[in-house]
Amino acid sequence: MSLALKQVFNKDRTFRPKRKFEPGTQRFELHKKAQASLNAGLDLKQAVQLPHGEDLHDWVAVHVVDFFNRINLIYGTISDSCTEQSCPVMSGGPRYEYRWQDEHKYRKPTALPAPKYMSLLMDWIEVQINNEDIFPTNVGTPFPKSFMQVAKKILSRLFRVFVHVYIHHFDRVSQMGAEAHVNTCYKHFYHFVKEFNLIDHKELEPLKEMTSRMCP
């Protein structure tokens, strides 16, 4: 990692504080197991596979939180070049525009500048992963029936951050010498969602060509 990149990442320039797993919990142990697989240099296709005897919901929950933290950090590093002037619409090139919708202020899909969209997105995800009714932290507390649906929605929306960063801000990523870090995070994310079929094929279209080269 380059010195400039380390300086930026050490500032923890995220929109939101990192969500951490409590030591001693099952989720913390799974998080450590996932990190150990990555640090061991395992093939990412192998690293994302469900460990023997573990619960799929727990495995997905750990990765959703981890990807939120990491993608939040990636966007934080380029956010100074993503402004309402440079990115008046949240998009992924001329063919793809993402509109924001939620249960509160934006009940209909609404075109927003990318920074506003990102802020709302990170707010929304943070609410979901901190909601004990959706992401229970106590061992033995069952996940709700809606968990996988919520997880899929979070991951689909996080994928849009990758789309925007790669298509509109990769020059900034390159200037910082962060390509390897961002690419590794993307490949990990892609192999995970493909392994468990967590993002609709159509959602992945904007980065299809790049992905075919990066994740053959």
> Any idea which residue has 């075109």 for tokens?
111
Cβ neighbours of residue 157 closer than 8 Å, sequence gap 6 or more:
121, 124, 125
What is the separation, in whole angstroms, between the first and last Cα of the chain?
25
Amino acid at 28: F
16, 72 Cβ separation under 8 angstroms: yes
Question: What is the chain's pLDDT, residue by residue, as a tens digit (216 residues)?
Answer: 444 444 444 444 444 555 565 665 555 666 666 665 555 556 888 889 998 888 999 999 999 999 998 999 999 989 999 999 999 999 998 999 999 998 889 999 999 999 999 999 999 999 999 999 999 887 778 999 999 999 999 999 999 999 999 999 999 998 988 888 899 899 999 999 999 999 999 999 999 999 999 987
* CA atoms within a 13 Å half-sphere pointing along the CA-CB vector of 159: 27
CA–CA distance, 124 with 102 (Å, rounded to integer): 8
Q: Is 169 flagged in the annotation as binding? A: yes
What is the model's pLDDT at position 195?
A: 96
Residue-number span of the structural domain to which 55 is assigned = 3-214
Q: Is 63 flagged in the annotation as binding? A: no
Q: Is 87 flagged in the annotation as binding? A: yes
Q: Give this prediction's pTM.
A: 0.85
27, 61 Cβ separation under 8 angstroms: yes
Domain total in the chain: 1
User: Which structure tokens are listed for 168?
Assistant: 């509109």
